[in-house]
Structures are given as C-alpha cells and as structure tokens.
Amino acid sequence: MTRPFIMVAPNGARRGKADHDALPISVPEIIHTATSCYNAGANGLHLHVRDEQGLHSLDVGLYKEATSELALVLPKLKVQVTTEAAGIFDVPEQLKCLQELKPKWASISIREMARDLSLAPQVYDLCAESGTEVQHILYNTDDIQLLHEWQQQGIVKATQGSVLFVLGRYTQGQISSPDDLMPFREAMPNVKDWMVCAFGPQEHACLANAAQQGGSVRVGFENSLVTPEGMQHADNAASISRLIKTIDQLK
C-alpha cells in the first residue's frame, strides 16, 4: 500500500490552549507547528487563523500573513485555507474572504453554502475563475445528495470534485469508527479525490482504514487530541508520526 497524502489540521475553529498547550493559535505558532508536522511526514496543512482574542477568523490579512510565511519556510507544503462558518460567519462573509484572498486551495462546506442559495453559485464560480481548488466538506449522505444535485445543475463545476468525508462531530465522548466511512463510500463509489477526517480516540484507525481503501487522510488536533489509548498526543507532529507508523504496518 502506498502511503497516502497526509494533511494536518492542527487547531480548527473551536479548541484552544485550555484543551492542549501545544495547540497553535498565533501565526508564529502555526508556522512552528507546520514545520514540525512537515518534518514528521505531513504533505498538506488545513489552515485556520485566529484573531487577537484567539477566536476563529476569516481575516484576509491574517491569512495572507500565514500563507506568505508558509510559502517562504515550507514551499513544498500544500496549504488549504478554511471557509468554516463555525457559527460566526454567514455566506456573504465567506464569499468576501474568497474574493479578497483568492487562495490556491480552500475547504468549503456545501451545507453552509446552502444557507444562501442566491450566493452559493457565486462561490463556486469565483473559485473556478480564480483557480482556487475546492474541497467539499461532507458531514453525511444528505450533504452528498446536495452535492450531486448542484453538480447536475452546474452550480458545482465538473472540475470541483474533491471531497472530505467527516466522521463524527465535536460532541462530548465522540468515538468515530472505521465503519462510519461505509455510507459515504456507498453514496460516492466513483469519487476519485477523497479524504477522511475523524473525531475521537479511533481517529488513526479510521484514517488507516481510509488509506487502505485509497483515500487521503487529515489528522490533527482539530479532530482529535488523543491516542487510541485515550492519552493526549504530545503535539500534532507526534500524532502524525504515530499515524504513519500505523499505516506503514498495514503494508
């Protein structure tokens, strides 16, 4: 089995230092974490930036600062920015971020775009025009059905086929299972470019299962802080190293 593309999601929109001291908040901390994760074997970074209060942000200035520094320090690391609403941002603000930033790669939740049907087509048109690669965030098979409908209607372009299957949620005691991937795969049997992330202590088992099936994987503190034994990873790089060891043992 070939080692999959590995993306690290080191912080997310909701967790902070109270959850783990090594969770990066500031841009310098994100750069430091990205470097250690790249050295551990990460191929890509799912980028969230935070404001001065440490809160989730779609601030274009912060994004430009972080992506410019990452390009200098880690030119081979593929960087994906998030447009996640996180209960804070509406579709106009998400669209504005994409318009001003024009990132190379962005993650976009189709259910979030569906909150404003008048603007959703503009989001995908803009990405196509500006050359922004889109990864659709899919939380369940209802999201997949909506994606199929929008593809048929031409709202989502033929070139915008990349997806992320999300196993689980931010809920107390969440334990995602490798079996949780099955409904996604059955609903999209012919998808070529797919990735998986998973919440809880079985994160690595879920990702190893996805890798065996030919998928890419997303790992990191956005989704899980703990080992299969329930102990906290030392940092994001430690989680990546252990995941790679788990995957390599399957070869």
Mean pLDDT of 101-110: 98
pLDDT tens per residue across span 24-71: 999 999 999 999 999 999 999 999 999 999 999 999 999 999 999 999
Q: Is residue 240 within 8 Å of residue 5, measured between CB atoms?
A: no
pLDDT at residue 249 greater than cutoff 80:
yes
Q: Tell me whether residue 180 is in a domain.
A: yes
Give the SS3 label for residue 114.
coil
Determine the pLDDT at residue 56. Answer: 98
Q: How far apart are CA 135 and CA 176, in angstroms?
A: 21
pLDDT at residue 143 greater than cutoff 70:
yes
Using pLDDT thresholds of 50, 70 and 90, give the confidence band for residue 2. Answer: confident
Q: Tell me whether residue 17 is in a domain.
A: yes
Mean pLDDT of 81-93: 98
Number of domains in the chain: 1
Q: Is residue 73 within 8 Å of residue 40, measured between CB atoms?
A: no
Q: Which of 40, 42, 39, 37 is nearest to 216 (CA)?
A: 42
What is the percent of the chain where pLDDT is above 70? 98
Determine the pLDDT at residue 90. Answer: 98
Determine the pLDDT at residue 172. Answer: 65
Q: Tell me whether residue 1 is in a domain.
A: no
Burial of 41 (0-12, 13-18, 19+ CB in 10 A): middle
Determine the pLDDT at residue 169. Answer: 72
Q: Tell me whether residue 56 is in a domain.
A: yes
Mean pLDDT of 95-124: 98
**Average pLDDT, rounded, for the chain:** 96
Give the SS3 label for residue 36.
helix
- The domain that contains 121 carries what CATH number? 3.20.20.70
- pTM of the model as a whole: 0.96
Using pLDDT thresholds of 50, 70 and 90, give the confidence band for residue 173. Answer: low
What is the percent of the chain where pLDDT is above 90? 94
Q: How many CB atoms lie within 10 A of CB 115?
A: 13
pLDDT at residue 171 greater than cutoff 70:
no
Which domain range does residue 69 map to? 6-248
pLDDT at residue 86 greater than cutoff 80:
yes
pLDDT at residue 170 greater than cutoff 70:
no
